[in-house]
Chains A and B, each alone.
Chain A
Amino acid sequence: MLSANVVLVTALLYVALLFTVAFLGDRRSRNGRPGWLQSPVVYTLSISIYCTSWTFYGAVGSAARSGLEFATIYVGPTVAFIGWWVLLRKIVRIAHAQGITSIADMVSSRYGKSTTLAALVTLIAVVSTTPYIALQLKAVATSFQVISNSGPDTLTEMHNAGSEYQIGFWIAAGMAVFTILFGTRNVDAKERHHGVVAAIALEAVVKLVALLAVGLLAVFGVAGGAEQIFELASPEILHAQDAFGPRWVVLTLLSAGAVICLPRQFQVTVVENVDESHLRTAAWLFPLYLFLLSLFVLPIAIAGLNFLPADANPDMFVLTLPIWASRHDVALLSFLGGFSAATSMVIVACIALSTMISNHIVMPLAMRLRWVSRSASGEIRRFLLVSRRISICVMLGLGFAYFRLGGDSEALASIGLIAFAGAAQVLPCLIGGLFWRQANTAGAFAGLLAGTVLWAYTLFLPSFGGDLVVSRQVLDQGLFGIALLRPQALFGMTGVDPLVHAIFWSLSVNTLLFVVVSLCREPHPLERLQSALFVDVFRTSAEATDGLLRRSAATHDLSVIAQRILGVEEAQRLFRQAARQQGRGDEPPLADNAFITRLERTLAGSIGGASAHAMISQVVTGETISLNELVRIADETQRIREYSRQLKDKSRQLEAAARELGQANERLRRQDVEKDHFLSQVSHEVRTPMTSIRSFSEILLDGRGLDAERSQRFLRIIHDESLRLTRLLDSTLELNLLEHGEAPWQLARITPEHALDQAIDVCQGLADGTRVRLESGERAHGAEVMAEADRLSQVFINLIANAIKYNTHPAPWVRVSSRIRQGQYEVRIEDNGPGIRADERDLIFSKFRRGWSHTQTATPGAGLGLAISWQIMRRLGGDLALGANNPNGGAVFRVTLPLADRR
């Protein structure tokens, strides 16, 4: 049998070990060599303060009483952690980006840095945590009594109330000392307490080892094996049939929420997190820890039910089983496990709550009531530390008082779930704020307030039992006698488990008000900024958002605040660094938007976001939010859409350019073909006269039997053909020159009628040699054009000569007329010849075409005349066109030139 002294000495040695570990951890991290202190494993172990003495002892008790229902408390957090990608990751990222120090800080920071919201969350946290602390004190005190009181009475709980309270008091005092020593050394800018985390991790290991030891004892030591232990169990133990109802669902989801938003859990999971990637390890390692812890709960419960006396308290099986089995080493270990579970919870809860109280209640009050003088630097830090230490003592005092006053009542046993339910009221506005931009302060406040009131009315106050706060009468008949307001049957919902009932009403009204009130109000600029920063934390970088809030302040004022909160040294270092970044050398930094925002964030790490914002607001002016920038930053999808539209435009342009290139290529190819065609035509045209010249020359050279007359004729033919060749080459050259515009022409103001008369005279000679009658129709006198006289004449001669040459009519005539029409000088040359065939109209002005090829005429032309004339007219700025055949069936050619401007 263990004596009380042995247990006491062991406990004190264990506490000394904890102090040592905490001290070493703190010193290591202060020296800058954190090493294993910041490993993912230590991080995960610290999260295990979720398993308090309520779960260490109470899980077995619950298993013995209600079967598998105990598993919900562990399954819930498993679901929450394996779903880290969805929720926890976002919370941790935001906390890093915004310098969040507590859950109240996170909620208030999201909703426009509202002080009232932070205060409300803090109050809820204090109210729901105080009974929980009392529960831990009770558990340690009871377990100490059980293990140290010898004799058969041990196994049934013998209460020595007085000594129990004494034990409770000393434990509370001891934890206060520990917490103050290691939790409030200084106001760490990021609220991290490395020494405490190290001690917590050690306690987590002790917890696990202790429970595993008792479990192994139960399975193998007492029962003799895994199969045997379940043979001992009657199937009803599991309560399998009724375990999986609404209560199962509610408890699982409640635990999942609690592991995120209980203040102590938020502290270790989010605030103490140094590296987001540690979450990846915690995602499976923490569920594994819970798994191992719960593995032996059922066997222990079964063994206890079977071997221990029937009236033994199931909550103490973890301790009484090894005592009964005479394994005092395991019993001592089990006691230490329970002790670890209780103390680690209380320590972290006190740290979290003291931070919240000092940042969100004391600090705003102090600022409003001007308790803090503006002159002394470093004063705020001291003030904060003192307020935190006082808060710790107050919290533990409240916990002890609750324990003392309500120690024996039913209240304590069920307080765990009640505390969960209270903390869960934060969930709607927390999760809603992370994903819904429209969520604003009024909605969060309304929901939180309503949910808390309902929670208190339906769950918290009735739990005091008896007539402490809520009388029996109210419980049975409702507030003011109204049946619909019965605390455990609100609005007629009867027959439902009280916890499920309370959760349903409080969370649904909470969420409903949150959503409805948020929709009814427009967010303020600061709310809008914060909501964008929170909801879009994965899409924007912190630096990009630094300059969004437009403010101006005097650097001196800012440095005063910084020194008061961070201390002189730290503040000066910060300002020097900022000045260096801004490139200002030794001068103080410029208080631009980015600097003010960064400074505010640093201060928030010490006093919470709301207070930091309030303090900075005292010295800045003109705080406006640049809505454009906010839209630009927060609306990255819009940017991406813009960019892709630009890309589409560009690719369209590229397509068009490619098409044009293709067309140009086609044109070049066509022109290449045309050129080849032209060359072959020219060579063909040249070959014919050349052949004549060659053959006739050969005959003359041969000189046999040629009389003088024949020789003369042959020579003339040779001469004529040479002339024809020369003419052809001249025409080709001329056409080429015309087409490529090489030779510049001298345009002068001329009277085209003179050119026309000249052409008629020249052609008269030609006409005289034929039977063609050359007539002159109406003439436009006094017209003046800008042209070259010779070229114009050349065109007229070409046209008239063509008309004369190719007229096969028996009574041929050619009529030349001119007139002025629509500002143009127009010449018509028509004949009564065969006209131009329909299929040749389009090609009449092409090179080497003879439109009268179907006629048999004596005078062959080169076929370039019309092409040259057409080019000349284009060069002169006019046109040469083929009109419709006249009524006589002959061709009509029209030459037009714009009139010269009247001087």
Chain B
Amino acid sequence: MKPPDPGTPRLRDAAALLPALALFLLMPPVITLFTETRTVGGVPLIVAYLFGVWLALIVAAALLARRLAPPTVAPPASRD
């Protein structure tokens, strides 16, 4: 039979839904909420929001990817 799926079902679902969350946060109308001309620490709000969310998504993806490692580290396929 096939090897078991890595991670738990919840982790797998989270990994599948992360891009949807990304789109939700970075597409209008949500992103247009941050277009006022304000600054956060000298940086315009929209810039801080965009890059902040971006970085947060990267961190989330990194954490998920680590948890979704397959249970055993198999050597590369013998065809190589």
Q: What per-residue 1/0 map shows which CB atoms of B48-80 lie under 8 Å from chain A?
A: 001100110111111001101110000011011
Contact (Cβ within 8 A) B28 A244: yes
Report chain B residues within 8 Å CB of A190: 79-80
**Which residues 274-301 of A have a CB within 8 angstroms of B?**
274-275, 277, 280-281, 283-284, 287-288, 291, 295, 298
CA distance A295 to B66 in the complex (A): 25
Contact (Cβ within 8 A) A245 B28: yes
CA distance A540 to B69 in the complex (A): 20
**Which residues 248-264 of A have a CB within 8 angstroms of B?**
248-249, 252
Contact (Cβ within 8 A) B54 A241: no
Contact flag A275-B76 (CB < 8 Å), given A252-B26, A284-B65: yes
CA distance A227 to B44 in the complex (A): 10
B9 contacts the other chain (CB 8 A): no
Contact (Cβ within 8 A) B19 A231: no
Q: What per-residue 1/0 map shows which CB atoms of A95-128 lie under 8 Å from chain B?
A: 0100000000000000000000000000000000
CA distance A281 to B64 in the complex (A): 11
A341 contacts the other chain (CB 8 A): no
**Which residues 4-36 of B have a CB within 8 angstroms of A?**
5, 12, 15-16, 18-19, 22-23, 26-28, 31-32, 35
Q: In the assembled complex, how far is the CB of residue B63 from the closest CB belonging to chain A, in whole angstroms?
A: 8
Contact (Cβ within 8 A) B32 A226: no
Contact (Cβ within 8 A) B2 A540: yes
Contact (Cβ within 8 A) B62 A284: yes
Q: In the assembled complex, how far is the CB of residue A455 from the closest CB belonging to chain B, in whole angstroms?
A: 24
8 Å CB contact of A277 from B22, B44, B58, B69: B69
Q: What per-residue 1/0 map shows which CB atoms of A411-441 lie under 8 Å from chain B?
A: 0000000000000000000000000000000
Q: Which of A73-81, A781-789, A857-865 contacts B (4 or more CB under 8 A)?
A: A73-81
Q: In the assembled complex, how far is the CB of residue B20 from the closest CB belonging to chain A, in whole angstroms?
A: 8
Contact (Cβ within 8 A) B51 A280: no
Report chain A residues within 8 Å CB of B37: 235, 240
8 Å CB contact of A280 from B12, B41, B44, B69: B69
Report chain A residues within 8 Å CB of B46: 68, 238, 240
CA distance A190 to B58 in the complex (A): 31
Report chain A residues within 8 Å CB of B79: 189-190
Contact flag A277-B70 (CB < 8 Å), given A68-B46, A79-B23: yes
A220 contacts the other chain (CB 8 A): no
8 Å CB contact of B44 from A82, A85, A238, A539: A238
Contact (Cβ within 8 A) A226 B43: yes
The chain A residue with its CB closest to the CB of B14 is: A85
Q: In the assembled complex, how far is the CB of residue B68 from the closest CB belonging to chain A, in whole angstroms?
A: 7
Q: In the assembled complex, how far is the CB of residue B80 from the closest CB belonging to chain A, in whole angstroms?
A: 6
A83 contacts the other chain (CB 8 A): yes
**Which residues 198-241 of A have a CB within 8 angstroms of B?**
226-227, 230-231, 233, 235, 238, 240-241
Contact (Cβ within 8 A) A82 B27: no
CA distance A294 to B59 in the complex (A): 17
Contact (Cβ within 8 A) A82 B47: no
8 Å CB contact of A86 from B19, B47, B69: B19
Task: Describe A's contact surface by its main secondary structure.
Answer: helix
Contact (Cβ within 8 A) B23 A541: no
Q: In the assembled complex, how far is the CB of residue B45 from the closest CB belonging to chain A, in whole angstroms?
A: 9
Contact (Cβ within 8 A) A287 B61: yes
CA distance A541 to B76 in the complex (A): 16
CA distance A233 to B46 in the complex (A): 14
Report chain B residues within 8 Å CB of A643: none
Contact (Cβ within 8 A) A538 B22: no
8 Å CB contact of A82 from B19, B69, B76: B19
Q: In the assembled complex, how far is the CB of residue B12 from the closest CB belonging to chain A, in whole angstroms?
A: 7
Contact (Cβ within 8 A) B61 A86: no
CA distance A378 to B50 in the complex (A): 56
Contact flag A298-B47 (CB < 8 Å), given A248-B27, A274-B80, A283-B61: yes
8 Å CB contact of A287 from B41, B57, B66, B70: B57
Q: In the assembled complex, how far is the CB of residue A257 from the closest CB belonging to chain B, in whole angstroms?
A: 13
Contact flag A86-B16 (CB < 8 Å), given A238-B47, A252-B27: yes
Report chain A residues within 8 Å CB of B39: 230
8 Å CB contact of B42 from A71, A80, A230, A241: A230
Contact (Cβ within 8 A) A78 B76: no
CA distance A788 to B5 in the complex (A): 77
Contact (Cβ within 8 A) A248 B19: no
Contact flag A291-B42 (CB < 8 Å), given A238-B47, A284-B62: no
8 Å CB contact of A78 from B41, B47, B57: B57
The chain A residue with its CB closest to the CB of B60 is: A82
Contact (Cβ within 8 A) A281 B65: yes
The chain B residue with its CB closest to the CB of A96 is: B77
> Residues of B at under 8 Å CB distance from A?
1-2, 5, 12, 15-16, 18-19, 22-23, 26-28, 31-32, 35, 37, 39, 41-44, 46-47, 50-51, 54-55, 57-62, 65-66, 68-70, 76-77, 79-80
Interface CB pairs A-B, < 8 A, 19: A68-B50, A79-B23, A79-B26, A82-B58, A83-B19, A85-B15, A85-B68, A86-B16, A227-B42, A227-B43, A230-B42, A238-B46, A240-B46, A252-B26, A274-B80, A277-B70, A280-B68, A284-B59, A291-B54
**Closest 8 pairs between A and B when the two form their complex, measured CB to CB:** A83-B19, A227-B42, A284-B62, A85-B15, A82-B61, A280-B65, A284-B61, A240-B35
